[in-house]
Every structure is written in C-alpha cells, then in structure tokens.
Amino acid sequence: MNPWYIVFGVIIVLIILCVSNIKIVPQAYVYVIERLGKFNTCWGSGMHMKWPFVDRIAKRVSIKEQVVDFKPQSVITKDNVTMQIDTVVFFQITDAMQFTYGVERPISAIENLTATTLRNIVGDLDLEATLTSRDIINTRITAILDEATDRWGIKVQRVELKNILPPREIQDAMEKQMKADRERREKVIQAEAEKKSQILVAEGEKESKILRAQADKESQILAAEAEKQSMILRADAVKEQKILEAEGEAQAIEMVQRALADSIVKLNTANPNEAVLQLKSLEAFAKAADGKATKIIIPSEIQGIAGLASGLKEVIKDTK
C-alpha cells in the first residue's frame, strides 16, 4: 500500500476529530464540562474546543427565567377545611455547576418543597384568612424556597397561588353567604337612599316655608312702606293745599286791603262832600245789617239819614 494514502487518511481522521470537538454554546446557555469524569469548567456562550476522549459535556443548562406550573396540592386549614391549591413558581438558574451536582431532579425537588411549605403556611391559617391572604402566602413561600434553593444554584423569583379550590359544600355556603351579603347591602343602600330622599324632601319643604314666610314678611314690609309713603304724600298734599289756600287768602286780604287803601286814596283825592260820605255810610250799614250780626250799633248820623230816608219814602207814596 502506498504510504501517502495512509498519511492522507490519518490527516482526514484528525480533521474530522477536531471538527467534531468544536462546540458552539448558544446565548443564555451554559455547558458543564467534565474532564476524566470530574468537573472541569463551565462554558458560556460562544465557540469552544474540548479534548477528544478526555472532556465531555456533562449538562446543558439554560440560565433563562423559567416557569413551572405544579399540579394542585391538597392542604388542610387551621379550621380543618381541606382544599386544593395549585402554584406557579418562577425561578432562574444562577450557578450551573451547583444546579448539575447539587440535587437530583431539581424541578421535582422544588415541587415537593413548595408543597410542604404551602401545607405548613396554610395549616396556620383558617379558611377565610387563606382566601384573603394570597399576597402573604406568596411572599412567605418565595422567601422559604429562595433560601432553600440557594445551595442548588437556583434563584426563586416569586411564587403565585394560581387557584384555591375549597370543597363543593364550602363553595355553596360561601355563595349563599355572598348572596345574603349582597342582599343585605342592597337593602341598606335602598334604606339609605330612602332616608336621604325623605331628608331632602323635608329640607325642601322647610326651605319652601321659610321662603314663603320671608316673602310674606317682605310683602307686608313693602305694603307698610307703601302705605307710609302714601300717607306722607297725602299729608304733604294737604299741607301744600292749606299753604296754597292760606297764601290765596292772604293774597285776597292783601288785595282787598290794597283796594280799600286805593279807594280811600281816591276818595281823599276826590274830596267828597257830606252827602257822598253819608251814602257810603249807608252802604256800610247795609253790609253790617246782612243778618249775620246779632247786635247792630247805629251811629247818630246814620239815624238822621234813616229818618230822612223814611220821610222820602212817605212823600213818594203820597205822590203815587
């Protein structure tokens, strides 16, 4: 056989062997490498070369956050109520070597640890507290699991109670209780609404009466003020009328006196004789004897004139 063929075959085998031992680690994965059956190193993402027949990949570990939904667990509350609770665990592998060599079947270990922790926590709570304390239970389980899984290279991010299923008879009783509570709240709300309605109606009637009383009071005040103003105006009118009448009388008296004075002045200016004066005396006497006076004093001059008038009357009769 040609030795060149042997060399060529050996080179091809070496190339195949080298290529087959080149490994590429994907992102978010870690490869655990053993050398001669013993832990050697952990490969991160990228290209790596292992020694043939000496190194081997013991485990491929994903370091992404993972979610595990565990089946419902049967738990008993403090008041001896059995219920089913299923949980969801969010965790992430932080140490690939501890995850590989720390515990056998780590997911099963987390499930069992979650179940036992849940039973311990719910065993200290009654039914109502269990149904209303999800956040407290989640926080306590997360803290306990995180502490217990540190040595396994696992970081528990959080634990959530997915479902809490009490027995059928408990659910029926709870539904009846909730229905009774809703009916009670409805009646309370209706009673409060009716109470508020009556209060509003009473307040409306009260305000209406107050407004009517105020309106009547203001109306009476306005009427009294109007009557007062009317009386004042009437009094002012009477006063002004009397003033005008008095002024008119004063002016009339003044005019009469002025006329009298003018007549006397004119009489003096005319220098009347005795007969004219006697005639004026008779006119004055006639006015004095108009029947209003009870006593009449007749001057002697007028008496003589009266006798003269009687004589003239007799002469006139004889002539007729």
How confident is the model at residue 315, as a pLDDT? 43
Q: Name 45's Cβ contacts closer than 8 Å, sequence gap at least 6.
A: 25, 26, 27, 28, 29
Structural domains of the chain, with CATH: 3-61 (no CATH), 66-166 (3.30.479.30), 273-289+297-320 (no CATH)
Compute the average pLDDT of residues 77-105: 86
Q: Name 301's Cβ contacts closer than 8 Å, sequence gap at least 6.
A: 278, 281
Give helix then strand counts, H and E, for the chain. 8, 9
How confident is the model at residue 307, as a pLDDT? 52
Task: Quickly state the pLDDT bin for 90 (edges 50, 70, 90).
Answer: very high
d(CA 220, CA 183): 55
| pLDDT (tens digit per residue) in 189-238 | 888 888 888 898 888 888 888 888 888 888 888 888 888 888 888 888 88
Beta strand 82-93 with 66-69 is antiparallel
More confident residue, 291 or 143: 143
Compute the average pLDDT of residues 24-35: 88
Q: Which two tokens mark 35? A: 């050398």
| pLDDT (tens digit per residue) in 93-108 | 988 888 888 888 888 8
How confident is the model at residue 281, as a pLDDT? 62
Compute the average pLDDT of residues 124-151: 85
How confident is the model at residue 17, as a pLDDT? 75
**93: how many CB neighbours lie within 10 A of its CB?**
21
pLDDT greater than 50 at residue 320 = no
Q: Cα angle at 19 between 16 and 25, to 5 degrees?
A: 150
How confident is the model at residue 75, as a pLDDT? 85
Torsion angle, alpha carbons of 81, 87, 93, 95, to 10 = 0
- Please, are residues 50 and 21 in contact by the beta-carbon 8 Å criterion? yes
Q: Which range in 13-22, 163-172, 244-253 is most confidently predicted, on average pLDDT? A: 244-253
